[in-house]
Structure 1
Amino acid sequence: MPDKITVAGVPVDTRHWIGGRRVASGDTFTDVSPIDGSVLGEISRGTPAEAAAAVAAAKAAFPAWAATSRAERARILHAVADGVDKRLEELAVVETTDNGALLRSHRRGVMPRVAHNFRFFADWLLTLEHEDFETRGHRNHVSWDPAGPSVLITPWNAPLMLATWKVAPALAAGNTVVLKPAEWSPLTASLLADIAAAAGLPAGVLNVVQGYGSEIGDALTSHPDVRRISFTGSVPTARRIAASAATQLTPLSLELGGKSPLLVFADADLDLAVDLAVEQYDNAGQVCLAATRLLVQESIAEEFTRRFVEKASRLTQGDPRDEATDIGPTIHPRQLEKIDGFVRRATAAGARAVIGGHAEDGRYYAPTLLTDVAQDSEIVQEEVFGPVLTLQTLSLIRADRVTDRLVAGTVWVNCFFVRDLQAPFGGSRLSGVGREGGTWSFDFYCDLKNTVTAPEGWQDHG
């Protein structure tokens, strides 16, 4: 197995990154591009031994990194961001080749956000404080102490952006990291290890272990030396991680599946509502916070549907490297089969495909809108994670009731996907546990400590 492969003209190391050096496994897994099914390379397939080695490296590096001043940690994270900027085009083309998302999106939005993740948390670290307060003359001082080695398990739909959404605050907090990227899109995590090392991040502070969660997940999440676990993915996998972490009572942050609604009332700007609804097909529908349930007030449902179909029909689906493409391929044939299964079962149960409803060319799923769906049906209740939306109608009375009872981590009004890293982000109920962003990230990745100091000469212990 070659140690490096070339992807879109960019050399990428296929080995793990553990303790500041490259480590190969005895076995590999095949990484395939969703664009055309071509084999990109054979990637080191981690075992529990590599998982344990990565945790050991993170544990060994933790005391020195935790003791590193805030200013120095922030300086290194800014250097990592600079490295991302310098290699932005390489990161964009590699990730597009690896996961099939639009190249124009990676260039203009996703990779700049990767650099911003590091800069934001580096700067936030320097402002992190809680005003001291008094209790009967005693001073209370709140501090954020680094928690320890953190295992970060990230998904395939926005690999590097979502990885650095976790890596950046964990490192800023003074923790060391073991990053486990998704096996369907592992390549930019390997490039991140190179960028971080070049920026001066000490050996062992960031480790990257590739492979299948079913083979190395438990070795990471049940390890007694792991102090934090952050995971983005499905509810069933989260349940397994939570059960594994329970053996050590390791704190978890879980960002899970979504089935969010887009509510359109009769007084809405209909053109804006349609634009936002069609936007839910972004990244071929492979977005955890996509509003895949369109709930439209009855009096405007017919006109909304007409305008939606007209606009959605103009979307261009094809090669994500083409600037004219709006929707790229599905990440993997297994995911395509899963999406198609959802739609076939829904139509068999009486749903009607207003547009789409079928796969194309074995790699693409046509943008789909289903109507005549029951509230308790699988297609309405379960996350599809593909370009499939459902449309249901709301009566005026029901609309008022729904808005009063929203349970959600984020609510957008007359907009969508407006994100600020200082805001809390996460799901409610089965969509997630915990919040990250701004100070909430540091609350998770740190052990909060309150130090109470008696005034000088104080003797009364009552």
Structure 2
Amino acid sequence: MSVAVDTRHWIGGERVASARTFPDRSPIDGSLLAEVARGGADEAKAAVAAAGEAFPGWAATSRDERARLLRRIADGVERRLSELAIVETTDNGALLRSHRNGVMPRVAHNFRFFADWLTGLGHDDFDTRGHTNHVSWDPAGPCVLITPWNAPLMLATWKVAPALAAGNTVILKPAEWSPLTASLLADIAAEAGLPPGVLNVVQGYGAEAGAALVAHPDVRRISFTGSVPTARTIAAAAAANLVPTSFELGGKSPLLVFADADLDLAVDLAVEQFDNAGQVCLAGTRLLVDAAIADEFTARLAARTAALRQGDPRDEATDVGPNIHPDHLARVDGFVRRALAAGGRVVAGGGPNTDLGGLYYRPTLLADLPSGAEALTEEIFGPVLTLQTFDTEDEAVALANGTRFGLAAVVVTGDPTRAARVTARLVAGTVWVNCFFVRDLRAPFGGARQSGIGREGGTWSFDFYCDIKNTVTAPKGWRDHG
């Protein structure tokens, strides 16, 4: 990797080493990228202390000045966009062209958006029997933000930007499988002039650094994106200190294709679910297809899946890169093996790409799984789609809602009346109709059921990262100060 990355922690405006390190390897070829500082209780304590010390000054900083610094961070991201893209691709295996053209520009946009939203944040005063009510959003304090490995910098800044805009200080704990761009973000923030201690980065394992951070009594907010079991552990630690939490968790999202759908569009949308080697929480991995068109849809999708080019994500021609880690590849393959043992049928793919070796798993489509099968109900988080058929609209909705998750859904239909009926009945935080992955930071984002707690985006982000205050003022009682 041609870009130098400092792999020490960033605490209180300084680089801090640890007595121990952990290896960070590229999923592209297994090469060792770095030995990364392995934080624990001591580093967590130091980072929370630094954030606590910096908080009063940052909270007192004017909205305009906070917004100015966030925009300077966005400028820094844009100046180093190519470097960030190659580091993240090398570190987590997602396509370089996606990082360069979509993901990293979105990182910069995260900072600009919340800077702009901050300057316009407000609520009209209102009257109660002649008394004036004034609503304000007050900074809450140090925030612990724990982020996943599948879209490291974009999802980190989706949290960091509103937390900083709100006047909070931040301790960011990136995933140990893809920690490098978080360290570069610390450099960019420092170069932008962010005061020491306002943004801190602590690296390490969840059971060590993460556990110490979420249990710290001086933390005032915890935001986590990841798995349901880890969220339960964090929630228990946060409950001891009554710390508000925001969780964006797993998904098992349906993609419903009705007989009146544009079949070309439906197949295009289904193929999109292999993006980032299937390592996307929002992906509509459960294909629910009207039985009347299922054979034609399946044949078209199988052909398109077989035509996807798998290989080095740095190659512009590559469509599907590697999975993130050997443990994760084994997990994905385990799901497929058990699905076949349960009676499932491979329509496309079905195992590791032996031509490439390493962590490359063939884009896979499974059919004929029995009702309630594990592959139909549990998040696989790899390039694996399942296909089920339905005969009626009611059956389609029942299948769509038939898991413990409720993150997203995709509906493909040519009938706007049907679209309205179906979307009203789906349990999901986001529903896309005849499209996928259209995201606007003004919109609320989050999941239902075990897909999460809370919403982020626009004012919803500030509602979480702030203590919302209502001040009621009487119309009389003032003394003359003239």
TM-score tier after normalising by the smaller chain length: over 0.9
What is the root-mean-square deviation in Å for CA atoms of aligned residues? 0.9
Q: In the TM superposition, what are the counterparts of 1:9-408 in structure 2 within 5 Å?
A: 9-360=2-353, 361-399=357-395, 401-402=397-398, 403=422, 404-408=424-428
Judged with a 3 Å threshold, the aligned counterparts in structure 2 of structure 1 residues 401 and 88 are, in CA distance, closer, same or farther, namely closer
Q: Does the aligned pair in 1 maintain the 2:306–2:349 contact within 8 Å?
A: no
Q: 1:442 aligns with which of 448, 453, 462?
A: 462
1:157 offset after TM fit, Å?
A: 0.3
Amino acid at match of 2:61: T
Judged with a 3 Å threshold, the aligned counterparts in structure 2 of structure 1 residues 18 and 434 are, in CA distance, closer, same or farther, namely same
Partner of 2:438: 418
Q: In structure 2, how many angstroms separate the alpha carbons of the residues matched to 1:94 and 1:397?
A: 46
Q: Partner of 2:127: helix, strand, or coil?
A: strand
Q: In structure 2, how many angstroms separate the alpha carbons of the residues matched to 1:375 and 1:112?
A: 42
Judged with a 3 Å threshold, the aligned counterparts in structure 2 of structure 1 residues 397 and 160 are, in CA distance, closer, same or farther, namely closer
Q: Does the aligned pair in 2 maintain the 1:281–1:387 contact within 8 Å?
A: yes
1:436 offset after TM fit, Å?
A: 0.4
Deviations 1:369-414 (A, max 9, x none): 0101123111011000000000000112435754253110000000
- Runs of at least 4 residues off by over 4 Å: 399-402
TM-score between both structures, scaled by the size of structure 2: 0.93
Amino acid at match of 2:155: L
Q: Partner of 1:12: helix, strand, or coil?
A: coil
Q: In structure 1, how many angstroms separate the alpha carbons of the residues matched to 2:245 and 2:36?
A: 28
Q: Does the aligned pair in 1 maintain the 2:363–2:383 contact within 8 Å?
A: yes
Q: Does the aligned pair in 2 maintain the 1:297–1:399 contact within 8 Å?
A: no
Q: In structure 1, how many angstroms separate the alpha carbons of the residues matched to 2:134 and 2:396?
A: 45
1:159 offset after TM fit, Å?
A: 0.4
Judged with a 3 Å threshold, the aligned counterparts in structure 2 of structure 1 residues 400 and 280 are, in CA distance, closer, same or farther, namely closer
1:444 offset after TM fit, Å?
A: 0.2
Q: Partner of 1:191: helix, strand, or coil?
A: helix
Q: In structure 2, how many angstroms separate the alpha carbons of the residues matched to 1:188 and 1:400?
A: 41
Q: In structure 1, how many angstroms separate the alpha carbons of the residues matched to 2:155 and 2:396?
A: 35
Q: In structure 2, how many angstroms separate the alpha carbons of the residues matched to 1:236 and 1:257?
A: 10
Q: Partner of 1:363: helix, strand, or coil?
A: coil
Judged with a 3 Å threshold, the aligned counterparts in structure 2 of structure 1 residues 254 and 60 are, in CA distance, closer, same or farther, namely same
Q: In structure 2, how many angstroms separate the alpha carbons of the residues matched to 1:391 and 1:429?
A: 23
Amino acid at match of 2:267: V
Q: Are residue 455 (structure 1) and residue 451 (structure 2) matched?
A: no
Q: In structure 2, how many angstroms separate the alpha carbons of the residues matched to 1:347 and 1:106?
A: 34
1:142 offset after TM fit, Å?
A: 0.4
Deviations 1:291-339 (A, max 9, x none): 0000001101111101111111111000000000000000000000000
Amino acid at match of 1:285: G
Q: In structure 2, how many angstroms separate the alpha carbons of the residues matched to 1:218 and 1:44?
A: 16
Deviations 1:253-294 (A, max 9, x none): 000000000000010011001000010000000000000000
Gaps of 5+ in 1: 1-7
Q: Does the aligned pair in 1 maintain the 2:29–2:358 contact within 8 Å?
A: no
Q: In structure 2, how many angstroms separate the alpha carbons of the residues matched to 1:15 and 1:216?
A: 14
Amino acid at match of 2:443: A
Amino acid at match of 1:454: A
1:216 offset after TM fit, Å?
A: 1.7
Q: Partner of 1:106: helix, strand, or coil?
A: helix
Q: In structure 1, how many angstroms separate the alpha carbons of the residues matched to 2:445 and 2:241?
A: 26
Identity across the alignment (%) = 76
1:113 offset after TM fit, Å?
A: 0.2
Q: In structure 2, how many angstroms separate the alpha carbons of the residues matched to 1:303 and 1:183?
A: 43
Q: Are residue 431 (structure 1) and residue 464 (structure 2) matched?
A: no
Q: Partner of 1:340: helix, strand, or coil?
A: helix
TM-score between both structures, scaled by the size of structure 1: 0.97
Q: In structure 1, how many angstroms separate the alpha carbons of the residues matched to 2:371 and 2:20?
A: 46
1:54 offset after TM fit, Å?
A: 0.3
1:362 offset after TM fit, Å?
A: 2.8
Q: Does the aligned pair in 2 maintain the 1:232–1:256 contact within 8 Å?
A: yes
Amino acid at match of 2:360: Y
Q: In structure 1, how many angstroms separate the alpha carbons of the residues matched to 2:394 and 2:299?
A: 23
Q: In structure 2, how many angstroms separate the alpha carbons of the residues matched to 1:276 and 1:400?
A: 18
Q: In structure 2, how many angstroms separate the alpha carbons of the residues matched to 1:121 and 1:227?
A: 20
Q: In structure 2, how many angstroms separate the alpha carbons of the residues matched to 1:21 and 1:400?
A: 55
Q: Does the aligned pair in 2 maintain the 1:265–1:399 contact within 8 Å?
A: no
Partner of 2:414: none
Q: Partner of 2:5: helix, strand, or coil?
A: strand
User: What is the aligned residue count?
Assistant: 451
Gaps of 5+ in 2: 399-421
Q: In structure 1, how many angstroms separate the alpha carbons of the residues matched to 2:397 and 2:187?
A: 52
1:217 offset after TM fit, Å?
A: 1.8
Q: Partner of 1:426: helix, strand, or coil?
A: coil
Q: Does the aligned pair in 2 maintain the 1:261–1:291 contact within 8 Å?
A: yes
Partner of 1:4: none
